[in-house]
Structure 1
Amino acid sequence: MLRRDRPTSSPVTAPEAVEDTAEPVTVTVARDVRADQREAFERWAADVLGQAAEFPGNLGTSLLRPGPGSTRYHLVYRFADGESLARWERSAERRAALSRVEHLTESVDYARVAGLDSFFTALTPARPGPRWKLTVLTTAAVFVITLGFQLLVSPHAASWPLPARLLLSAVVVVVLLGHVVMPRLTRWFAPWLRRRR
């Protein structure tokens, strides 16, 4: 699920469709920062991302700085589900932060990605914690799903052509990984994933 909002100066909050999702949600806020306000904006961004990182359900935050010739910064937030995102977006902390940033920027774009798309978006740039931890967690999830498939499904499909068996296996692994297993694992292991060691 992807939602983009037009540039706006008013606070944007998760719509009901996003709030009701039980899957991880990634939000990207792109802000064009005034050239003479970059230092102030980076201080503000560090503060607001730090607040979001401490909010219940947060799975990671990051700041992407503009490239040469650009003034566009991207703030990325990842939450365990739509309800956690909505609580952050309706919080007094966020409202106070937004009231301090408008004079530093010229425009803002807001985008949300949920579900399977959110899982892959999370790999870059909103990956929580070191890459090796997410690799270990993903490998364990794929192993368990594949083992279950081999024990429970493969015997019943033994007479199928190899391409059909591989296709079925791939579909089962991807669907379970993106919609069932990883959303729960990233929520359950969030404290461990966020630790930098």
Structure 2
Amino acid sequence: MTGNSVARQPVAPEPVTVTVARVVRPEEHEAFEQWAADVQELVGRFPGSLGSSLLRPGPASDEYHLVYRFSDDASLAVWERSSERRAALEQVSRLVEQERTARAVGLETFFAVPARPGPAWRSWALTVAVVLVLTTTFQLLAMPFVGSWPWPSRLLLSALYVVTVLRLLMPRLSRWLGSWLQGSRRR
């Protein structure tokens, strides 16, 4: 060992947490909850499982979150590649309208603040560009029909349109442009 060498200790595997958000069809809540209970029992039988939980939707929502943890990536991979998981996913597909998955490593992920966002000007530029496109679209498509309305009514309709479409569009655009929005930080 030279003077510049540092002895490296083996790194202990860190727990992995996976959260799957599913928007469940309103008429399928009961069936989904039974499915989730069965899956939680199944996950618990896999080596390295540290437990799971189901977070139910709040009022006026159909989005459930199934959270499960494994002791390490290797244990999680065994679950993710299993025929039992594939069969469970086939069963649930008819109950849900939408699904997204998030994965975090390490115990600190339960307490950590979200990753620092990128330069604020990028979010500002994206928002300005989207609002410009939406207001232009409103002017071109809606104004021929509502141009004779009193200006407060036109303004209200325009605001409702822009805010509603922003609410639907911005999360998708933020995911799609995520690396640009966060900047080119190297870790």
Superposition TM-score, scaled by structure 2 size: 0.52
Q: Which residue in the other structure is 1:48 paired with?
A: 39
Asked whether 1:85 is paired with 2:59, we answer: no
Asked whether 1:28 is paired with 2:11, we answer: no
1:62 Cα deviation after fit = 0.3
5+ residue gaps, structure 1, are 1-20, 122-197
After superposition, the Cα gap between the structure-2 partners of 1:83 and 1:118, relative to the gap in structure 1 and judged at 3 Å, is: farther
Q: Which residue in the other structure is 1:67 paired with?
A: 58
In 2, Cα distance between equivalents of 1:116 and 1:33? 29
Asked whether 1:95 is paired with 2:86, we answer: yes
Return the index of the structure with the highest Cα Rg: 2
1:116 Cα deviation after fit = 4.3
Q: Aligned match of 2:97 in 90, 95, 106?
A: 106
After superposition, the Cα gap between the structure-2 partners of 1:48 and 1:101, relative to the gap in structure 1 and judged at 3 Å, is: same
In 2, Cα distance between equivalents of 1:120 and 1:55? 26
In 1, Cα distance between equivalents of 2:16 and 2:52? 12
Q: What is the identity percentage for the equivalent residue pairs of Structure 1 and Structure 2?
A: 62
Q: Which residue in the other structure is 1:169 paired with?
A: none
1:22 Cα deviation after fit = 1.7
User: Match for 2:15: what amino acid?
Assistant: P
1:115 Cα deviation after fit = 2.1
Aligned residues: 102
Q: Which residue in the other structure is 1:115 paired with?
A: 106
After superposition, the Cα gap between the structure-2 partners of 1:77 and 1:120, relative to the gap in structure 1 and judged at 3 Å, is: same
Q: Which residue in the other structure is 1:194 paired with?
A: none
Task: Tell me the C-alpha RMSD between the 2 structures.
Answer: 1.8
In 1, Cα distance between equivalents of 2:58 and 2:88? 25
The answer to whether the 8 Å contact 1:24/1:119 transfers is: no
In 2, Cα distance between equivalents of 1:116 and 1:55? 20
1:120 Cα deviation after fit = 4.0
User: Match for 2:69: what amino acid?
Assistant: R
1:41-87 CA-partner distances (Å, limit 9, x unpaired): 00100001110011100001000000000000000000000000010
Q: Which residue in the other structure is 1:193 paired with?
A: none
